[in-house]
Structure formats: structure tokens, C-alpha cells
Structure 1
């Protein structure tokens, strides 16, 4: 299933999403940020779009200014609270909520083991909450930024395995993996991937270019994912890039068959 996530459209309302089906997308990943944040106030508009479009809905949980690995209790507790609220509000129209791992704050950089343990503790609580609401959280690999956790397969899968909950899976972000040179290593573990984000870059910064506009080897990506049957979510900056990405992906998938 090909889906679209409006990564850079968080300052827009939801009306653009009603055209995704006509573009050829089968799903919509709601990014719970900015004006698209899932709240009791925005739910009616979200429900209106869902009711009139045949789109499978997934959700990207909030992440701005939040940190599951924070050693600052108020920040850590607020991070958990916001993700729990997102799960609660979206549970009746999605079974998948993407979450970011934490990052090393200045104190966390000095106490890395403690920051890692805080991240584990938070995800345990969130996975239990997700299970109560029939939702699976999917922990996402991060780009090549030193302070971010879960940049490598060992860290991502290791964190999920440590928690050991069926309500915590994984999101493979191909663009992020391209910046860390880990695409081949992640593809070797394709059976352990529950959800996928696709976008492109030149191999260093997390640019979120249209698929095919960067250096990711998409031929190898789609061959490595030939047995994957879940959502492929194009994380686009604009609808036009979403259109180009969609055509590129369809051609590459056809070649990989």
C-alpha cells in the first residue's frame, strides 16, 4: 500500500488530504504536529475526510520538543502524556502510530546508560497503553545525528527486543538509513520491519527529497522489500513531490517484481 505523509505541510489544515485518493495514493499518514495535530478540536475535520475517502490511515505521533530519553522529569512525563493522548484519540481509525526514540540531552550525553534506560522505561509504558487501545507503536530509526538514538539496526531492534511487546514494532525510514549508510543492513532484517517511510537525500543530511532525487539505491531497496506487504509511506514536502515520488515508486516496484 502506497501512502502519503505531509511532513512539511504541518502549517496547513487537512483539506489537501481529500485529494490523495485521486492522486493514486491508498493511504494517509497523519503527522500529529502543527495545525495537523490530532486533538479533540481537530478530530471532526479528520473524521470528515476519512469518511469520504477510501484511505488507510496511519499516524505519526508528536515529536517536536519531546524526548523519551530525557533526564528532566517534566519533559519526560510530558512526552509520554502527549504520545498516550495521540494513541487514545486516533485508536478508532488507525492501528499504527509511529514514534521517535529519544535523544541525548547534555546531561544524557554524560549518562548515556541512564538515558537509554529512560527510553526503555517510557516505551514500556507506551506499549502497554497502546495494547489497551488496540494500536501498535512503530519505533523509527533516526538519521545520522550524533545525539539521536536508534540510528543503527542493532540499536533499533535491540530496543524493541528489550521491551518484548507485540504492541511495539519498527518503522524503517529509508531516507534516514541512507544518511547512516545502513540501508543494506536494515534490508537484511526486512522480516522484522512493520512499517516503512520513504524519501530521499544526498547521503548526508535528512533532506526529505522526492523519491529518486537523491542517492538511495531504490532498485536494491525494492528488491530487498519484495516480500514486505505493509504500508510504504512517502514522506513528502509538497504535493507535487508526492506526485513525482508516487510515479517513481510505481515504476521501481514494477521492475523489482
Structure 2
């Protein structure tokens, strides 16, 4: 009726052992039922380091592949370059990539490295989280109200075939936040209508 498509489903952050493949299978089934092509998960590295993480991701990758769903690892707490190393460790599977959170990257890498990461990882970025901040705090401001160079980000994301979402603070009035974000993104060259 409303012709709304859901760009992604974010895997639950709390309450489940996210490294159990049967837990993932349940949420991948939900993705399938709502016709979502990307499941975003935080980059939590379990006890034991990369090897058990890699083993779990390989299992999850196979389940997701059968359902034609991509897994996007978000740079929530980890430097996004670690995600590239992890993907290399996994053999660069075609259905596991990165959910590049621009605000988190601005804090993790520093403002001058946000765009070079896009240049290096563009083919592995499946999903983008759009928000802004001052480079110190994860403020989830409207794009253009912090220090991220959004016109340059948009330029580097030309021909990006993934999905993007606004991820804004709950303290901003919703209608204003959406209206101002779209206005800024149009000004930066991302939105046409």
C-alpha cells in the first residue's frame, strides 16, 4: 500500500549470543520474509579473537547466501580497516561486506581518513550510515552539521550500488531532522528528488 522497502535489518545488539548460527538463521529468515537484502551486524569480536569470529561468519555466510542476503559488518567499535583485514582473512566472500558508519569512522579514524577508507573499500561497502559529529562524540547529527566533508563523501560514493540510511539522534525533532537531512543531502548532490 505505501510502497516502503526496508533497506536493512540490524541484528539485535543485546540478549542473544550473536555467534550462534541458529540465532542468525532466525533473523535471516526475518530478512527474507520482509524482502530485505542486507543484515547489518556490529563488529563485536568474541572472546578468542578473529578465528572463532571468522568461523561463525563463514557459517552465517553460507546460510545468508542460500537466502540471497548480504551480511554487512558495521564499524561500531572497531577501526574499519580491521573489517577489511577480516574480509581478507575470510577470502573476501561476495556476500559479506561493510556497513560503513560515517560518524563512527570520523571518531575512529579521524576526519582526514573517512574518505580514503571509502576509496580503498568502496567495492566492499554494502551499506552506509549517514550522520555527522564533531570527531570526538558520537552525536548522530544531521549530515552537514558536523565536520564530515559530505560533498566529498558523496563524490567518492558515485555509482555506489548499496543502501544508505540516516541514523540521527533521538533528541532531534523527527520532521525537522528528515527535512533538513534531505535538504543538505540534495545540496551535497546525493538526492535528486
- TM > 0.5: yes
Output the CA distance in 2 between the equivalents of 1:232 and 1:219.
15
Q: Is the 8 A contact 2:18 2:24 kept in 1?
A: no
Output the CA distance in 2 between the equivalents of 1:207 and 1:127.
32
Aligned to 2:107: 179
Q: 1:62 aligns with which of 5, 8, 11?
A: 11
Aligned to 1:97: 39
Q: 2:187 aligns with which of 251, 254, 257?
A: 251
Larger radius of gyration: 1
Give the superposition deviation at 1:254.
6.0
Aligned length: 181
Q: Unpaired runs of 5+ in structure 2?
A: none
Give the superposition deviation at 1:185.
2.5
TM-score scaled by structure 2?
Answer: 0.82
Give the superposition deviation at 1:116.
1.7
Aligned to 2:148: 216
Q: Is the 8 A contact 1:208 1:237 kept in 2?
A: yes
Output the CA distance in 1 between the equivalents of 2:94 and 2:15.
24
Matched, 1:140 2:74: yes
- The answer to which structure, 1 or 2, has the higher relative contact order (CA under 8 A, 6+ apart) is 1
Write out the 4+ residue segments of structure 1 that deviate beyond 4 Å after TM superposition: none
TM-score scaled by structure 1?
Answer: 0.63
Output the CA distance in 2 between the equivalents of 1:85 and 1:206.
30
Q: 1:205 aligns with which of 101, 126, 137?
A: 137
